[in-house]
């Protein structure tokens, strides 16, 4: 990731100086293309925001939804009061559940999977070869292929928090990303540390892990994105409104009769807002995390 960063600034610095007027003119179509695609990409988001602010009667009345003079925050107060009892579930709890599940899966997943990858990459133990082979095999088993049998096997854990977390901690893809990354770290570094008397744990925690921040970032972001949007598993396992994560809740809320679309869209805005904030703050990590996962995959 350091390479990409290093290249970009030099280009910015040199190019405009060389051929400035010509590029300016040639940039006009470029900007037009950027803008047109930008508008197309933004339109659904703009619609969601507009519908969350517009009166209910305008949600499904074509362009009326963009009539700024009618906008207000009534849908936001509406969704807060619609979702405020134990029977319907509380608005704050849907966020708390999604947040807890996501943070736990990401955090524990980072630890557990990087440890496994380290053991596979650096330690010698019986069955290592077989374990590596099995993980490569598991890499192609998508969660969807085991969702149904899991639904049956773990039925006793319906409506619990842990069943939303534990199955997703161990992850073959994460292990593989870490494993590839660790393999790229020269072994001479471990050797030097071992000479200084460090044990495998020490080498891992103090040397390998800190050197592997890009791998941690990409695994964290990939896990975060999958987990925050997780839908299939909660559909099958969660009926208690107090343990429902956000994506499931919004589909539940949208299915209510009569549908309060303005409130649904307000809920949608609230749902993505924290992610967008996280995304804007860690934008570089996001983009590099996603990008470097590909290089390894």
Partner 1 sequence: MLAPQRSRPLAVTIGAGLSLALMLSACSGSPEGGDSADGTIDVWAHSGQASEAAALETLVKEFNSSQDDVTAKLTLIPEADYTSTIQATSPDELPDVMEMDAPTMAAFAYDRKLIPLEDVVSSETLDNRISGVKESGTYNDATYAVGLFDVGLGLWGNKTLLAEAGIEAPTTADEAWTVEEFRTNLAKLAEVSPSGKAIDLGEANGFAAEWGTFTTTPNIWSAGGTLMKDGKADGVLNSQENVDALEEWASWKEFADPNTSGSAFPDGQTALTWTGNWMYPTFSEALGDDLALMPLPDFGNGTKAGHGSWQWGVTPAAEGNTEAAGSFLDFLLTDESIAAMVEANAAVPGSTTALEQSELYGPGKPLELFATNLESACSSDDVSADCIAVARPVTPGYPTVTSSFGSALLAIWGGADVQGELDSAARAIDSDFSDNNGYQDE
Partner 2 sequence: MASPALLLLALFVAVPFVAAIWFSLHNVRLGDPRAPSFMGITQYVRILTDPDVSRQFIDALLHNLIFAAVVVPVQTALALSLALLVKKSIPGVGIFRSLYFLPVVFPIALVAIIWRLILARGDQGLLNSALSFFSGGAFGSQDWLGSELTALASVIVLSIWQGCGFQMVILLAALQQVPAELYEAAELDRASAWQRFVHVTVPGIKPTLVFVALYTMILSLRVFDQIYVLAKSGGGLNEGATRTVMYEAVTAAFDENNIGRASAISVVFFVIVVILSVIQRRATSEKES
Positions 22 through 61 that interact with partner 1 (CB under 8 A) = 57, 59-60
DSSP string, 60-96: TSGGGGG-GGG--SHHHHHHHHHSEETTTEEHHHHHH
- Residue 155 as a binder of partner 1 (CB under 8 A): the answer is yes
- Residue 8 as a binder of partner 2 (CB under 8 A): the answer is yes
Which of 54, 169, 209, 264 lies at the binding interface for partner 1 (CB under 8 A)? 209
Could you tell me the smallest distance in angstroms from the CB atom of residue 67 to partner 2?
A: 13
DSSP string, 156-181: GGTT-SHHHHGGGTS-HHHHHHHHHH
Measure the CA–CA gap between 205 and 211, rounded to whole angstroms: 10
- Residue 42 as a binder of partner 2 (CB under 8 A): the answer is yes
Measure the CA–CA gap between 192 and 226, rounded to whole angstroms: 38
- Give CA separation, 154 vs 172, 228, 241, in Å: 21, 22, 19
Could you tell me the smallest distance in angstroms from the CB atom of residue 116 to partner 1?
A: 17
CA 153 to chain centre: 27
- Contacted entry of partner 2, partner 1, none for residue 170, CB cut-off 5 to 8 Å set by kind: partner 2
- Contacted entry of partner 2, partner 1, none for residue 76, CB cut-off 5 to 8 Å set by kind: none
Which of 64, 131, 193, 235 lies at the binding interface for partner 1 (CB under 8 A)? 235
Measure the CA–CA gap between 214 and 293, rounded to whole angstroms: 9
- Residues within the interface to partner 1 (CB under 8 A): 57, 59-60, 85-88, 93, 96-97, 99-100, 103-104, 107-108, 110-111, 151, 155-156, 158-162, 165, 206, 209-211, 213, 235-236, 239-243, 252, 255-259, 261
């Amino acid at each position: 990731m350091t390479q990409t960063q290093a290249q970009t600034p030099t280009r910015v610095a040199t190019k405009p100086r060389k051929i400035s007027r010509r590029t300016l003119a040639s940039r006009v179509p470029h900007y037009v293309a950027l803008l047109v695609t930008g508008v197309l990409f933004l339109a659904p988001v703009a619609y969601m925001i507009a519908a969350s602010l517009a009166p209910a009667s305008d949600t499904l009345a074509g362009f009326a939804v963009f009539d700024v003079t009618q906008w207000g925050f009534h849908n936001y107060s509406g969704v807060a009061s619609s979702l405020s009892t134990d029977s319907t579930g509380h608005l704050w709890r849907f966020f708390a559940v999604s947040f807890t599940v996501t943070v736990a899966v990401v955090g524990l997943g980072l630890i557990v999977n990087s440890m496994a990858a380290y053991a596979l990459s650096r330690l010698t133990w019986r069955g290592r070869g077989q374990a590596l082979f099995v993980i490569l095999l598991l890499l192609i088993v998508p969660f969807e292929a085991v969702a149904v049998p899991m639904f049956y096997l773990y039925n006793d854990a319906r409506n619990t928090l842990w069943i939303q977390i534990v199955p997703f901690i161990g992850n073959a893809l994460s292990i593989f990303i870490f494993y590839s990354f660790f393999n790229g770290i020269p072994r001479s570094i471990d050797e030097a540390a071992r000479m200084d008397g460090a044990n495998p744990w020490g080498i891992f925690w103090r040397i390998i892990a800190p050197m592997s921040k890009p791998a941690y970032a990409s695994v964290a972001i990939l896990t975060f994105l999958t987990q925050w949007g997780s839908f299939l598993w909660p559909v099958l396992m969660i009926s208690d409104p107090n343990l429902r994560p956000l994506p499931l809740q919004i589909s539940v809320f949208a299915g209510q009769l009569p549908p309060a679309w303005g409130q649904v869209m307000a809920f949608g805005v609230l749902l993505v807002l924290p992610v967008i904030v996280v995304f804007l703050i860690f934008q570089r990590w996001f983009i590099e995390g996603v990008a470097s996962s590909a290089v390894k995959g």
